[in-house]
């Protein structure tokens, strides 16, 4: 594969070939063809420094954190705690105690739903979510509605895949207690105007949760600028390991929320009569945490910061524009999601061919894409389709890989004549 | 086998393009819905039984080429068979689809259905081909919604 260089104002050229060399998994043949990995919205590949950090932790420092007085425990604790600072900086939270480690964005949303939702939302109240949410930002709220008697309302989107803020404006009232919205849609690629939505929610006294799982790998995240109350990120979508993520919560809200789970690390003192809960963030981190995950997540953030989000975003924007142009030209293709503001995701359908058949045929050429409903069935229902094929881009992808995708799609059309 | 044309054989493509018995059946004596929650495929199988004999069978739904062709070929094969013969065929197709990669498959008596034997090499697609069969099995047993998960 040839080297692709991208330059943007103030940034030095990116050597994509050198970046690819940091991802050993990319260097392989699938069905006799060079692997083209375009399923990054499902999970990204991991650079060597992330994989090696997991091994380094186990070979050198493995011990439980926040407990031991011995050297290994202190080393593990130091590495672990350093990542909380990195995540705070990464999302620009005001206070390190506002960062809670969780299994991923799904657990982060469930934590807010069960702790904040069940305590501060009641019968007659309303929870507003968008119609482009991932199932992980739909089902936890349906559960809260069942538990509390609150009502779930949804913000529709137009045929380009942009949220109807005019409809939202008419929906908000003093009954609205929480608005939850995805920052970047995993099925459509739409970047939602979170700052505006958060301001609208706050004007009616509601709190705002943002599912940032798909946004953090592509955009500069600033929770203070966005004005949201909760923000979720997932390590494995941004070059880190699976099973770890973070919840940002505004301190004032986290302080008044009850614990989500009980156990070790989340207590200050325990007797059979009364348990005093620990301070933030530990109140929400019961049990031995995913120490290797947190430490390797830190390595992923280091990788990210080394390359720079602006350069990553510029490279991916170039790939998305190039792929959109090329794939739009294929007769019979309809691109699903044509928002003015998009990131990294290209969803499409091909007339007369089901997405699964596209996925299987592309795999014969070593090309990995996602085919299906993307855990966003309401989005599919809005467009009256069962599934889409989705190519999603990361820092290591190239225009040549887009060309390979386009060529393979021609083969799909050939098979289905 | 890992050749594209061996999975997407002409007969499969033909049944996908022009599915046989692709219609609702208002006077069905049994029906069942099949759903694959993983991919969103949906199928409804209608059966008309006279005594023990299947006199008509049809399907509706949405899915990929493999699931559509499998359903289409299934309806063509089952028409005229007894309930017991249908169950036997269900077992044989199921065995053919879920066998270990590379193992021998006895296709005698399977007729055209043998073109689906290549699907077993694609674990992610086995459920596409087996969904209509599980669904007709459920319809013949009394009918309800079947899920491949």
Question: How much is the pTM?
Answer: 0.92
Report pLDDT for A91. 98
Q: What gap in Å lies between CA A308 and CA A316, rounded to an integer?
A: 12
> Between chain A and chain B, how many beta carbons pairs sit less than 8 Å apart?
48
Q: What gap in Å lies between CA A160 and CA A308, rounded to an integer?
A: 30
Task: Assess if residue B98 is contained within a domain.
Answer: yes
* B41-50, strands of its sheet edge to edge: B53-62, B41-50, B30-36, B145-147
Pair type for strands A230-234 and A245-249: antiparallel
Q: What gap in Å lies between CA A68 and CA A156, rounded to an integer?
A: 52
Average pLDDT for A279-306: 96
- Judged against a pLDDT cut of 80, whether residue A158 lies above it is answered with yes
In tens, the pLDDT along A227-268 reads 999 999 999 999 999 999 999 999 999 999 999 998 888 888
CB A184 within 8 A of CB A233: no
DSSP string of A193-251, one letter each residue: -HHHHHHHHHHTT-EEEEE-TTTTTTS---HHHHT-SEEEEEGGGGTS-SS-EEEEE-H
- Is A375 an annotated catalytic residue? yes
Question: Where is pLDDT greater, at A375 or B109?
Answer: A375
Q: What gap in Å lies between CA A302 and CA A85, rounded to an integer?
A: 12
Pair type for strands A33-34 and A29-30: antiparallel
Polymer length of chain B: 149
- Judged against a pLDDT cut of 80, whether residue A13 lies above it is answered with no
Domain holding B81: CATH number?
Answer: 3.90.1010.10
State chain A's mean pLDDT as an integer.
Answer: 94
Average pLDDT for A296-304: 97
Report pLDDT for A7. 45
Q: What is the ipTM of this complex?
A: 0.87
Least confident range of A305-314, A318-327, A391-400, B112-121:
B112-121
The answer to whether B64 faces chain A, any CB pair under 8 Å, is yes
Report pLDDT for B144. 63
- Judged against a pLDDT cut of 90, whether residue A185 lies above it is answered with yes
- Judged against a pLDDT cut of 60, whether residue A5 lies above it is answered with no
Report the C-alpha dihedral over residues A171, A175, A177, A182, rounded to 10 degrees.
-10
Report pLDDT for B121. 85
Report pLDDT for A275. 87
Angle (nearest 5°) at CA A109 between A105 and A115: 140
Q: Which residues pair with A231 in a beta bridge?
A: A210, A248
Task: Assess if residue B147 is contained within a domain.
Answer: no
Task: Assess if residue B65 is contained within a domain.
Answer: yes
Report pLDDT for A95. 97
User: How large a percentage of chain A has pLDDT more than 90?
Assistant: 87
Report pLDDT for B1. 42
What are residue B43's phi and psi, to 5 degrees? -145, 140
Task: Assess if residue B148 is contained within a domain.
Answer: no
User: How large a percentage of chain A has pLDDT more than 70?
Assistant: 97
Asked if the Cβ–Cβ distance from A357 to B63 is below 8 Å, we say no
Partners of residue A380 in chain B, C-beta under 8 Å: 40
- The single residue of A145, A181, A228, A375 carrying the catalytic annotation is A375
Name the residue among A199, A192, A133, A198 with its Cα closest to residue A164: A192
- Judged against a pLDDT cut of 80, whether residue B139 lies above it is answered with yes
Task: Assess if residue B113 is contained within a domain.
Answer: yes
Asked if the Cβ–Cβ distance from B64 to A415 is below 8 Å, we say no
Average pLDDT for A187-193: 97
Q: What gap in Å lies between CA B43 and CA A230, rounded to an integer?
A: 40
Q: What gap in Å lies between CA A335 and CA A324, rounded to an integer?
A: 8
Task: Assess if residue B86 is contained within a domain.
Answer: yes
Report pLDDT for A1. 43
Element holding B130 (H helix, E strand):
helix B126-140
Q: What gap in Å lies between CA B17 and CA A67, rounded to an integer?
A: 65
Partners of residue B4 in chain A, C-beta under 8 Å: 361, 364, 411, 415
Q: What gap in Å lies between CA A266 and CA A289, rounded to an integer?
A: 11
Q: In which band, very low, low, confident or very high, does the pLDDT at A142 lie, cut at 50, 70 and 90?
A: very high
Task: Assess if residue B149 is contained within a domain.
Answer: no
User: How large a percentage of chain B has pLDDT more than 90?
Assistant: 63
Average pLDDT for A335-352: 96
Q: In which band, very low, low, confident or very high, does the pLDDT at A3 lie, cut at 50, 70 and 90?
A: very low
Residue B124's domain comprises: 2-142
The answer to whether B1 faces chain A, any CB pair under 8 Å, is no
Element holding A128 (H helix, E strand):
strand A126-130
Asked if the Cβ–Cβ distance from A415 to B124 is below 8 Å, we say no
Report pLDDT for B107. 76
Backbone torsion region of residue B111, taken as left when φ is above 0, otherwise alpha when ψ lies between -120 and 50, otherwise beta: left
- Judged against a pLDDT cut of 60, whether residue A10 lies above it is answered with no
The 3-state DSSP composition of chain A as helix, strand, coil percent (nearest 5) reads 45, 20, 35
How far off is chain B from A36, nearest CA to CA, in Å?
18
Report pLDDT for A9. 44
What's the domain count of chain B? 1
How far off is chain A from B124, nearest CA to CA, in Å?
9
- Judged against a pLDDT cut of 90, whether residue A174 lies above it is answered with yes
Asked if the Cβ–Cβ distance from B8 to A373 is below 8 Å, we say no
Q: Looking at chain A, which residue has its C-alpha nearest residue B15? A: A416
At a CB cut-off of 8 Å and minimum separation 6, what does A139 contact?
A: none
Report pLDDT for A254. 98
Q: What gap in Å lies between CA A377 and CA A186, rounded to an integer?
A: 12
Report pLDDT for B145. 62
Average pLDDT for B96-124: 83
In tens, the pLDDT along A94-130 reads 999 999 999 999 999 999 999 999 999 999 999 999 9
**Sequence-ordered strand ranges (E) for A333-416:** 333-336, 345-350, 367-368, 370-372, 388-392
In tens, the pLDDT along A364-415 reads 999 999 998 888 888 888 898 889 999 999 999 999 999 999 999 999 999 9
CB A201 within 8 A of CB A126: no
Element holding A176 (H helix, E strand):
strand A176-182
């Amino acid at each position: 594969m040839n080297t692709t260089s991208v330059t943007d104002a103030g940034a030095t050229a990116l050597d994509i070939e050198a970046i690819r060399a940091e991802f050993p998994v990319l260097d392989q043949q699938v069905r006799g063809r060079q692997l083209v990995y375009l399923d990054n919205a499902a999970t990204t590949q991991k650079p060597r420094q992330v994989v090696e950090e997991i091994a380094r932790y186990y070979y050198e420092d493995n011990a439980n954190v926040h407990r031991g007085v011995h050297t290994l425990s202190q080393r593990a604790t130091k590495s672990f705690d350093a990542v909380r600072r990195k995540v705070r900086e990464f999302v620009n939270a005001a206070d390190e105690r506002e960062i809670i480690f969780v299994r991923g964005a799904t657990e982060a949303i469930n934590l807010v739903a069960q702790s904040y939702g069940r305590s501060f939302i009641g019968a007659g109240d309303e929870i507003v979510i968008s119609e482009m949410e991932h199932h992980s930002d739909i089902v936890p709220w349906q559960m809260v509605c069942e538990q509390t008697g609150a009502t779930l309302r949804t913000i529709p989107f137009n045929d380009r895949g942009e949220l109807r803020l005019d409809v939202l404006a008419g929906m908000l009232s003093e009954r609205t207690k929480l608005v939850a919205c995805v920052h970047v849609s995993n099925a459509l690629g739409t970047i939602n105007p979170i700052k505006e939505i958060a301001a609208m929610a706050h004007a009616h006294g509601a709190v705002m949760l943002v599912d940032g799982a798909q946004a953090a790998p592509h955009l500069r995240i600033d929770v203070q600028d966005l004005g949201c109350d909760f923000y979720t990120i997932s390590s494995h979508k941004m070059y880190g390991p699976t099973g770890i993520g973070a919840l940002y919560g505004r301190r004032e809200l986290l302080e008044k929320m009850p614990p989500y789970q009980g156990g070790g690390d989340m207590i200050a003192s325990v007797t059979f009569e009364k348990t005093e809960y620990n301070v933030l963030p530990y109140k929400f981190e019961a049990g031995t945490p995913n120490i290797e995950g947190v430490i390797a997540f830190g390595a992923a953030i280091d990788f990210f910061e080394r390359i720079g989000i602006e350069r990553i975003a510029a490279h991916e924007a170039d790939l998305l524009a190039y792929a959109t142009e090329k794939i739009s030209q294929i007769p019979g293709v309809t691109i699903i999601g044509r928002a003015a503001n998009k990131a990294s995701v290209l969803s499409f359908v091909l007339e007369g061919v089901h997405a699964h058949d596209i996925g299987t045929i592309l795999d014969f050429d070593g090309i990995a894409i996602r085919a299906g409903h993307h855990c966003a069935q309401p989005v599919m229902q809005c467009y009256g389709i069962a599934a889409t094929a989705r190519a999603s881009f990361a820092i290591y992808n190239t225009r040549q890989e887009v060309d390979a995708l386009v060529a393979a799609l021609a083969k799909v059309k050939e098979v289905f004549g | 086998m890992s050749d594209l044309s061996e999975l997407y054989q002409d007969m499969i493509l033909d049944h996908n393009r022009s599915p046989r018995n692709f219609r609702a059946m208002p006077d069905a004596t049994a029906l069942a819905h099949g759903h694959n929650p993983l991919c969103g495929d949906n199928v409804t199988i209608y059966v008309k039984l006279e005594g023990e004999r299947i006199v008509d069978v049809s399907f509706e739904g949405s899915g990929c080429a493999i699931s559509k062709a499998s359903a289409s070929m299934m309806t063509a094969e089952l028409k005229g068979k007894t309930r017991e013969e249908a169950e036997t065929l269900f077992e044989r197709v199921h065995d053919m689809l879920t066998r270990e990669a590379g193992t021998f498959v006895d296709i005698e008596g399977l007729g055209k259905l043998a073109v689906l034997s290549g699907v077993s090499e694609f674990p992610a697609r086995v459920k596409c081909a087996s969904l209509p069969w599980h669904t007709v099995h459920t319809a013949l047993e009394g009918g309800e919604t079947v899920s491949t998960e």
